[in-house]
Structure 1
Amino acid sequence: MLKFDLPTKIFLGKNCIKENTNVFSLGKKALIVTGRSSAKKNGSQSDVEAVLNSLNIDYAIFDQVKSNPDIPTVYKGAETAKAEHADFVIAIGGGSPMDAGKTIALLACQNIAPENIFSGSYQKKVLPMIHIPTTSGTGSEVTPYSILSNHKAQTKSTIATPLIFPTYALLDPAYQKDLPISITINTALDALSHNIESILSMKINPLIAQIAQSGIKQIGDCLTAMENNDLTEAVREKLQYGSLAGGIAIAHTGTNIVHSLGYSLTYFRDIDHGRANALTIAEYLNFIAKTAPEKVALILNDMKFDNISQFKAQIDRLLGKKEAFTAEELEKYTQIALKAKNINTSLRAPSESDVLSLYKNSLL
């Protein structure tokens, strides 16, 4: 059955904030959710503040979101929203501020105990949101997901509900002009994994497959440019589109094995989320190729690779020196990955030995 549902209205292009000021009239006071400094450095926050000031809309700032936000952070953000009487949220930054912004918007409207935050059982009350991504990776601006560090489970867990689709998404690649190469690579490979996992999901349909393929092609066109640190405006635009396509894709299919494997690498070893995904993605393709070789071949062809070995070689060059792991670590991570909700949603479900092999073949 073909299904497409995307309530978020998207504006993609240079100066999209300044040219669409009307979208900011969502309420009387905004809570700007962001990190410590990046939104200030790239100009996105000042552009938003200028628009709000021009519309005489008051705002408060919650800039305490760190990478991989946790449960205490979003509760603190929600308390700030309540104390400031904010009636809408503007999230600016990478996946962390956007994911945090979604949960803050939810918690600002209803009382949810921390132990029930991932339950999926929520009232239909949430603050409306505007999301402004300043990296090309998560696609969070168009998904119904908020991913948080879950210290009790020692992993990353997902809040998934259509309630947290942002109302508007404004994407301007110009904010990424000075984004460091390491962040550019990690976020791009995160977006690539979204598109690839979507195509290899049991939930894929022809429309979403076309969107995900378009994302793979755009990011594939940029792999060599990133390797050579040749980050032109055209490259930034392609990466932004690829990230958006990946977000739209996983909004319909979710992620699967690669993300399940990556959560522990991020939680226990503080490896960037996109890098964590990239570390296992080539072995993932080898694993899926045993069941769906034609789909894997299509993905490789979209990136102009003849085989998985060529793809792996370029990913390895982009990643550089890899982290060292012990067999004991990977056995621990295997048990955690097997409990992830998305581990069995790909075209081939992995056994315990498969998961361990994916880790070992990728990381040892």
Structure 2
Amino acid sequence: MLSKFYMPTKVIMGEDCIIKNCELLTTLGRKALIVTGAKSSKMNGSENDVKIALESIGIQYEVFDKVMSNPTIDCVYEGASMAKGTSADFIIAIGGGSPMDAGKAIALLAAQDIGQENLFSGQYENKVLPMALVPTTAGTGSEVTPYSILTNHKAQTKTSIASDLLFPTFAFLDAKYTESLGLMTTINTAIDALSHAIEGMLSVKATTVSDALASESIRLIMNCIPDMIQGAEIKNPLDLKQRELLLQASCIAGMVIAQTGTTAVHAMGYPLTYFKDIDHGRANGLLLGEYLKLVEKEEPNLSTRILKVMNVSETEEFKELLNRLLGPREEISSEEIFQYSARASKTKNMNNCVVKPTEDDIKTMYTKSLTN
């Protein structure tokens, strides 16, 4: 079977890595647009470190800090307009998945004229501003993927720009930026990374290489789960070493989905985020156990292999771990189940599934996951 692996991003990891490797930024351009949110990158020190790095090598910068959670199409067009207006010739995106995804879309839109009607077409000129990404959560892996996920109000969902143009040139991973995260944010983002790795193994595009990466990501995250559960129960934060492991696991899982895409779990999670404002990683976690049960029914050898990697004996044991991490679950109505199932069944993610659920399967998974 023909397979390929492509991940051109250079990843630098470690404490103060962006300051210690600031000379790399001189290869990207002469003026940066820093893309970030309004508060978190200022509070965790990442924005200040990026500014120190740029100033130490004489690179000018402007700051676009209007990225909201689940960034909109309008947001990235506004950012691209600022990049053009300030003559920025490269992008540094700082934050969780939202600023990183916004930064990638801004890099594309600042380099070429793309109307909103063609934004998700996949048909682009071979032009993009170079990018460096600085993740401050351990979940999305966006620093090593060719995707930008945006809130699409017209379609009432989250929609992906997918192009190899969106691979960043550099990713700087410094776990100290994640130390200020609350425990539930840490858990939700870790579950997002875990979902990426598991879904990668459940994709029709999975390869020996992507499965090897997914297995290591799963191992790292599962090793941290007992401490996350304990933390959730006694309100005890994770230490820096554990956060480093989660950040590495998130990055590795990003490398996985860069090759495989995501599957039914993401397709079902998007309506929960758009309509119910449930955090993306949490939405995945609410659904992941039931999808793995469906896989167990249709492809038992595949589910057994994943359970073995997780070092759990059966799907119910994994679901119980998720329940302890997530706490009380949200509920949705039968009308919402009908609406969300119809939407999820039509997404491109479903085409990636080794076990492709029917619309009735999706209704069952929503019902078992989100009703009493």
Calculate the TM-score normalised by the size of structure 1. 0.98
Residue 116, structure 1, aligned to residue 118, structure 2: yes
Counterpart of 1:60?
Answer: 62
Q: CA deviation at 1:356?
A: 1.0
Q: Is the 8 A contact 1:64 1:73 kept in 2?
A: yes
Q: CA deviation at 1:23?
A: 1.4
Distance 2:242 2:305 in 1: 23
Structure 1 counterpart of 2:264, from 246, 254, 257: 257
Structure 2 counterpart of 1:51, from 40, 45, 53: 53
Residue 204, structure 1, aligned to residue 206, structure 2: yes
Distance 1:22 1:288 in 2: 47
Distance 1:62 1:80 in 2: 8
Counterpart of 1:81?
Answer: 83
Distance 2:101 2:59 in 1: 24
Distance 1:319 1:161 in 2: 33
Distance 2:166 2:312 in 1: 37
Map 1:143-158; keep pairs closer than 5 Å: 143-158=145-160
Counterpart of 2:367?
Answer: 360
Counterpart of 1:285?
Answer: 292
Counterpart of 1:8?
Answer: 9
Distance 1:233 1:109 in 2: 38
SS in 2 for 1:7: coil
* CA RMSD of superposed structures (Å): 0.9
Calculate the TM-score normalised by the size of structure 2. 0.96
Q: CA deviation at 1:179?
A: 1.1
Counterpart of 2:174?
Answer: 172
Distance 2:155 2:240 in 1: 41
* Deviating more after overlay: 299-308 vs 201-210: 299-308
Q: CA deviation at 1:298?
A: 2.3
Residue 134, structure 1, aligned to residue 167, structure 2: no
Counterpart of 2:340?
Answer: 333
Distance 1:22 1:56 in 2: 10
SS in 2 for 1:202: coil
Question: What stretches of structure 2 of length at least 5 have no aligned partner?
Answer: 232-236
Q: CA deviation at 1:310?
A: 1.0
Counterpart of 1:236?
Answer: 243
Q: CA deviation at 1:15?
A: 1.9
Residue 96, structure 1, aligned to residue 98, structure 2: yes
SS in 2 for 1:17: helix
Q: CA deviation at 1:301?
A: 2.2
Tell me which stretches of 4 or more aligned residues in structure 1 moved more than 3 Å: none
Name the count of aligned residue pairs: 364
Counterpart of 1:21?
Answer: 22
Distance 1:317 1:116 in 2: 43
Q: CA deviation at 1:206?
A: 0.4
Counterpart of 1:189?
Answer: 191
Q: CA deviation at 1:164?
A: 0.7
Structure 1 counterpart of 2:324, from 317, 322, 341: 317
1:271-319 deviation line (CA, Å, top 9, x unaligned): 0000000000000100111222222222222222111111111111111
Q: CA deviation at 1:180?
A: 0.6
Q: What is the letter of the counterpart of residue 17 of structure 1?
A: I
Q: CA deviation at 1:205?
A: 0.6
Identity across aligned pairs (percent)? 51
Counterpart of 2:349?
Answer: 342
1:121-160 deviation line (CA, Å, top 9, x unaligned): 1111110000000000000000000000111111100000
* Deviating more after overlay: 176-185 vs 294-303: 294-303
Question: What stretches of structure 1 of length at least 5 have no aligned partner?
Answer: none
Between structures 1 and 2, the one with greater helix share: 2
Distance 1:325 1:38 in 2: 31
Q: CA deviation at 1:17?
A: 1.0
1:33-66 deviation line (CA, Å, top 9, x unaligned): 0001111111111111001111110000000001
Q: Is the 8 A contact 1:220 1:302 kept in 2?
A: no
Distance 2:6 2:119 in 1: 24
Q: What is the letter of the counterpart of residue 238 of structure 2?
A: L
Distance 1:323 1:187 in 2: 18
Q: CA deviation at 1:13?
A: 1.8
